[in-house]
Amino acid sequence: MKFVDSIQKTAKEAVVGTVCDIIEQNPEKNVDKLFSLAKLLARDEDSKNGIDSVEEMYNEIPSVKEYIQDILINTNKNCSKKLFQNFFSNAIWYGVGKREKWMEKEDTKIPFVLLISPSMRCNLRCTGCYAAKYDKSQGLQFEDVDRIVGQAHDLGIHFMIVLGGEPFFVDYMWDIYEKYSDIQFVPFTNGTLFTEEFGERLEKLGNVMPMFSLEGFEKETDARRGPGVFNKVMEGMDLLKARGIPFGVSSATARNNMDTVTSEEFIDMLIKKGSRMSWYFMYMPVGDKPDVNSMLTPEQRIELGRRTRNIRVTKPYFTIDFFNDAPYVGGCIAGKYYCHINSQGDVEPCIFAHIAVDNAKNKDLIDIFRGSMFRELRARQPYNENMLRPCMMIDNPHVIREVAKVSGAHPTDESAKAMLYDENFQKQLEEYAEAFAPVAEEAWEKDFNREGNIKFAKG
């Protein structure tokens, strides 16, 4: 290591240590100091500006201040320190240096976050689940996941989302979480398996932040997931809240439940239960019996974005809208800032885009990221000047077909096969894209002044 790099590393470690000391004692009384220390770790002006923006909101928006104070006061100290060390320090500040070296050296983009589905095994069979048609008898072995996570770690990836199936069905993942303690893991779970033993293990680990799947209240959730699921999730939330373990919620948002999952009543319930954030994933026509008619209408889709942005500034709560937040990250991030490895090892650009060229069981991640599919995706992004139309499947459906053809990608499930080869299904997607275009165009002008993060778009 060069002398200057060594000095910088030592200085950063000192700052991280100071932050952890503050978290351990009285963080809620030292918020200004925490913001100042965070700025010392920022690598560039964009990062500093981002911290300045959060600080400004903390000082000027009461709900934001309440949200941050509640996190600092009521989160388990081990979990707080791990979240800071792994997500902010490792993934954002340390990891970015490793990832950027590949860009500088050979124009290869290393994703910020890796999604992995170790297995498709699940105790539920939810309507419209993208995982429903995967072979439940197959899955990655411990050695496969250990190798993949280890390679990702060495490339500078310290943030990983664990999917399935039900990720807590895979017992060996506990060993992965423990071995890679400097990675922040976020399992998306149906929430039916949580016990006191789970709580103890999560509290001890500190680097695992579950996301519970909810489609609304008991009526909406149980209609999709089965009787009793909602109440089991409520029990799991109570168990984690009692221990100060941070968690969030994931909502598949369709025509029938959009109003419910964005309602004040629902958000207030989640806040009371202890949830810190909600991810909104618009229902996509993938998986078991894809249904275009269950997708949000164009008007609902735009309204979802407006509501989630409003929640962020009126409630002590954070939301991520996978589609409507696209302008902030330059449109589609598939194959550029994130990718998915399915239970067979196929490396897909997106959790919804089930196409692949390479398999992580027989090829190193760095060579996969160097590959034709990832380069083709990056070269085409953004797919549309209007970043409210970011998707290669439902907004620009020709893109997934063209990318697959140019890169030699093959479909990894039946819905992707339909997207590539079924003319009737392609027509349905094209009609949806055409119907959404004028509505999105009006919102692009009104809500975003036709401006998005073009720097992120170019990767």
Both tokens of residue 407?
Answer: 């890169």
pLDDT confidence of residue 142: 97
Q: Which of 269, 270, 258 is nearest to 307 (CA)?
A: 258
* Alpha-carbon 37 to chain mean position: 26
The Cα 108–Cα 127 span in angstroms is 38
Q: Which string of DSSP letters, residue by residue, matches 232-265?
A: HHHHHHHHHHHHT---EEEEEE-TTTHHHHTSHH
CB 283 within 8 A of CB 128: yes
Nearest of 90, 110, 1 to residue 374 by alpha carbon: 110
Give the residue extent of every domain in the chain.
1-90, 108-458
Ramachandran sector of residue 331 (left: φ over 0; alpha: ψ -120 to 50; beta: rest): left
- Lookup: tokens for 289: 């019996």
Q: Exposed/middle/buried for 363, CB within 10 Å: 0-12, 13-18, 19+?
A: middle
β-pairing verdict for 347-348 and 338-341: antiparallel
Q: How far apart are CA 417 and CA 401, in angstroms?
A: 10
Identity of residue 215:
E
Other C-beta atoms closer than 10 Å to the C-beta of 223 total 17
Cα distances (angstroms) measured from residue 132 to each of 38, 223, 289, 299, 339: 42, 16, 9, 29, 20
Distance CA 11, CA 17 (A): 10
Residues with Cβ within 8 Å of residue 325, at least 6 apart in sequence: 305, 308
Q: Which single residue is written with the structure tokens 């429903």?
A: 132
CATH number of 108-458: 3.20.20.70
pTM for the whole structure = 0.94
From the centroid of its chain, how far is CA 414? Answer: 24
Rounded Cα gap, residues 76 and 90, in angstroms: 20
CA-based diameter of the chain, in Å?
Answer: 62
Q: State residue 8's pLDDT score.
A: 53
Instruction: Give which of 290, 289, 275, 280 is closest to 252, Cα–Cα.
Output: 280
Give, for all 459 residues of the chain, the pLDDT tens digit. Answer: 454 455 455 667 787 888 888 888 888 898 999 888 888 877 777 778 888 999 999 999 999 999 999 999 999 999 999 999 999 889 988 888 899 999 999 999 999 999 999 998 877 666 555 555 555 457 999 999 999 999 999 999 999 999 988 999 999 999 999 999 999 999 999 999 999 999 999 999 999 999 999 999 999 888 878 889 999 999 999 999 999 999 999 999 999 999 999 999 999 999 999 999 999 999 999 876 788 999 999 999 999 999 999 999 999 999 999 999 999 999 999 999 999 999 999 999 999 999 999 999 999 999 999 999 999 999 999 999 999 999 999 999 999 999 999 999 999 999 999 999 999 999 999 999 999 999 999 999 999 999 999 988 877
d(CA 187, CA 436): 32
Transcribe 366-389 into DSSP letters. Answer: HHHHTSHHHHHHHHH-SSSSSTTS
**Secondary-structure percent of the chain, ordered helix, strand, coil, rounded to 5:** 55, 10, 35
